[in-house]
Structure 1
Amino acid sequence: MIHGIRPLRALLAALPALLALTPAALAHGVSAAQRQVLVDGGPLAYLLSGALHMLTGYDHLLFLFGVVFFLTRFVDVVTFVTAFTLGHSITLIAATLLGITANAYLIDAVIALSVIYKGFENTDGFRRKLGVAPPDLLWMVFAFGLIHGFGLSTRLQELPLPEDGLVVRILAFNLGVELGQVAALTAMIVLIAGWRRTPSFQRFSRAANYGLMAIGVLLLLSQLHGYQHTVGDPENLSFNQEEHLHRHRDMDAAVRAAERDNLTAALPPADFHALGVAAADGATVTRDRAVLYARQAVDAMVERAIVEAHWLAAAVASAERRLRYNQPGWTVVLQQPQAADPARRELYVFLDTAGRYLAASHTGR
């Protein structure tokens, strides 16, 4: 018992210092370089990205490490890995194709809980601590596979996914995840099998799983920390005034970025709270909702004389999820009536993932 408690206490004692790291440093989303590759890339780029994401996805790897830790028969390894693979493939493919998403920090927090759960189960915590039999492990691995796949989907949906060839790209990404998983599992099984032959395995196996739980706690706290500081509005998440002003400075920078993105005559951002129209808590912002919120933002901009009145009659040219200003969101493009201007200028309205207005710009001559 003592071998398990000491590492746990040491890791928990280090939590304050580790949490001083920014959430971005602890995140494992698709890197900026990978984003750019995937914007223009085909199925092969998505396959390679899927493999890379799994190989660098420490929370996925930690859970798999816990799953195979005590498995000695090849058939058991295949059975449990198949259940996990089936689970994460279902949600990765279905959620991405259907546009079902959620806050990435919260999903990753649940994934961290899966790491804690597996360490707890490996130390026989259900019987020793709770006095009950553990749930059926195969079904739990499948259930957590669903969550892990949803987490992969949220990361994938942060990209400006193309409409053409989307199914093929998602399937390629999923295949890449499987290939990365096979490579990682092969290394894990070889490592554990070699360690299992040494006397230290029995002495330190419990300590290793207590360490797994401690790392899971660290990941859980870091994801909740990230969620607290990146979601919601200043009032209900206790942002200080400096952070609140920083949000408005970011919007100014967003408009300047629009000019660099070939969007001339950038419009000044109106007051975020005055123009913002947010979706209900937990609601998924679909294309139709994004168009509705953009229309309401245009109404407010016309009322405040930020844009010309003819934009009220503009037709929606496109509306899609895109990465703008280094954050996922919606871009709704409205095309003004031919009668208003033969050049058919376009108005770009940018919304965050909750449907709140961020900024606008339009093409000009």
Structure 2
Amino acid sequence: MNRWFAVILLCLGLSLWSTSARADELRPAYIEMTEQSPGQWTLLWKASANSRLGRNGEIILPENCKATDERKREFAASNILTRLTLKCKGSIQGQAIGLKGLELSSTDALARIAPIDSAMQTVRLTPAQHVATLEKPSVISNVAATYTIIGFEHILLGFDHLFFVLALVLLLKGGWLIAKTVTAFTIAHSLTLVGTTLGFLSLPSRPVEAIIALSIVFLAVEVVKAKPDDLRLSERFPWIVAFLFGLLHGFGFAGALAEIGLPEGDVPLALLTFNLGVEIGQLAIVALALAVLHGLRKFQPSWLHPAKTATAYGIGIIATYWFVERMIA
């Protein structure tokens, strides 16, 4: 009785959490400062129009830089774009750039600085560190580290992708089978991510996001209805199911990456390391889920099936909420 009471509480908790948990939550602001001629710079910064940061945030400029005209603001999709022309005396290395208002938000910001006579720099601003000093970096290691972290965070904070991977782990048995299936998912979403980012593929985002939610509902149902003596479609051909749905999830990753922005001249490196970060995040999810299941199997085997069922119901309820929300939005 206590076991099923815990199951019910878990389902209720996950259902309530669905009102605040959102898919693809990683939507950082983006700052781009480009030197057009010696001492003459253009600045662009982008933030969600629905956020306090987009409405009230302000750029903290290097001390030796002054705006030479009024800022221009415009709406583009769901973002507010702000443009400025700057005149900077001397080098901006050693100066600080930041985003006032970021410390009050729950998002991050990327700042891309492109001088004429030195390497481009990409710095990451966070609520805990909303101002950064512009040093002379190694452009390769800087971009690689930044986009690896972004990819890792996206798989952990983009809840729909996390839930899909978690549902695969709940459904399948055997580490090797899970590894092959997650690899198929990775290959598929990498293909559509690269194709979309480079402009070879395109699908409207709203129906894609709705179908992604539906793919999670499908897997959750498969977990709940799974029987040891009657393998379901996703258990018989898991890598095919993961690959097909992975193609759609790749469009979701591409949408998130489009919101972040890619550094010109380093698009291949940014794509590669973003994918690497996503893969590291997926492996972390799989390892953690397998460890929890192994612990239940070893110390509380009678809890294993109820725990899987409760988690699948919770995932299914949240994904259904997302599907309805995306269909009517």
- The TM tier, using the shorter chain, reads 0.5 to 0.7
Deviations 1:232-274 (A, max 9, x none): xxxxxxxxxxxxxxxxxxxxxxxxxxxxxxxxxxxxxxxxxxx
Matching residue of 2:275:
174
Matching residue of 1:59:
160
Deviations 1:46-92 (A, max 9, x none): 11111111121211111111101143322112111111111111111
Deviation at 1:140, TM superposition (A): 0.8
Matching residue of 2:26:
29
Matching residue of 1:297:
none
What letter is aligned with 2:28?
S
Deviation at 1:118, TM superposition (A): 0.6
**Residues 65 and 188 in structure 1, CA contact (< 8 A), matched pair in contact too:** yes
Rounded to whole Å, the distance in 2 between the matches of 1:183 and 1:216 is 22
Rounded to whole Å, the distance in 2 between the matches of 1:47 and 1:76 is 26
Deviation at 1:14, TM superposition (A): 5.5
Deviations 1:336-359 (A, max 9, x none): xxxxxxxxxxxxxxxxxxxxxxxx
Structure 2 gaps of 5+ residues are 30-106, 114-120, 123-142
The normalised TM-score by structure 1 is 0.51
Rounded to whole Å, the distance in 1 between the matches of 2:297 and 2:262 is 44
- Which protein is richer in helix relative to its size? 1
Instruction: Please provide the CA RMSD for this pair.
Output: 3.5
Query: Which range moved further: 202-211 or 163-172?
Result: 202-211
**Residues 151 and 274 in structure 2, CA contact (< 8 A), matched pair in contact too:** yes
Rounded to whole Å, the distance in 2 between the matches of 1:78 and 1:69 is 13
Structure 1 residues 6 and 93, CA gap change in structure 2 (3 angstroms): same
Matching residue of 1:336:
none
Rounded to whole Å, the distance in 1 between the matches of 2:175 and 2:326 is 34
Who wins on radius of gyration, i.e. which is larger? 1
Query: Which range moved further: 25-34 or 154-163?
Result: 25-34
**Pairing 1:89–2:163 present:** no
Rounded to whole Å, the distance in 1 between the matches of 2:187 and 2:145 is 22
Deviations 1:305-355 (A, max 9, x none): xxxxxxxxxxxxxxxxxxxxxxxxxxxxxxxxxxxxxxxxxxxxxxxxxxx
- How many equivalent pairs are there? 218
**Residues 111 and 144 in structure 1, CA contact (< 8 A), matched pair in contact too:** yes
What letter is aligned with 2:291?
V
Deviation at 1:99, TM superposition (A): 5.8
Rounded to whole Å, the distance in 2 between the matches of 1:115 and 1:170 is 25
Deviation at 1:13, TM superposition (A): 8.2
Matching residue of 1:146:
247
2:305 pairs, out of 183, 197, 202, with: 202
Structure 1 residues 166 and 137, CA gap change in structure 2 (3 angstroms): same
1:214 pairs, out of 311, 314, 317, with: 317
Deviations 1:89-130 (A, max 9, x none): 11112211126444444332222111111111112279xxxx
Structure 1 residues 11 and 113, CA gap change in structure 2 (3 angstroms): farther
Rounded to whole Å, the distance in 1 between the matches of 2:324 and 2:215 is 14
- Which protein is richer in strand relative to its size? 2
Q: How does 1:48-127 map to 2 (within 5 A)?
A: 48-98=149-199, 100-124=201-225
What letter is aligned with 1:205?
K
**Residues 28 and 259 in structure 2, CA contact (< 8 A), matched pair in contact too:** no
Matching residue of 1:238:
none
What letter is aligned with 2:27?
V
Describe the SS at the equivalent of 2:196: helix
Query: Which range moved further: 109-118 or 195-204?
Result: 195-204
**Residues 46 and 176 in structure 1, CA contact (< 8 A), matched pair in contact too:** yes
What letter is aligned with 1:67?
L
Q: How does 1:271-282 map to 2 (within 5 A)?
A: none
Deviation at 1:141, TM superposition (A): 0.9
Structure 1 residues 117 and 13, CA gap change in structure 2 (3 angstroms): closer
What letter is aligned with 1:36?
L
Deviation at 1:10, TM superposition (A): 4.9
Matching residue of 1:159:
260
Rounded to whole Å, the distance in 2 between the matches of 1:53 and 1:9 is 25
**Residues 108 and 223 in structure 1, CA contact (< 8 A), matched pair in contact too:** yes
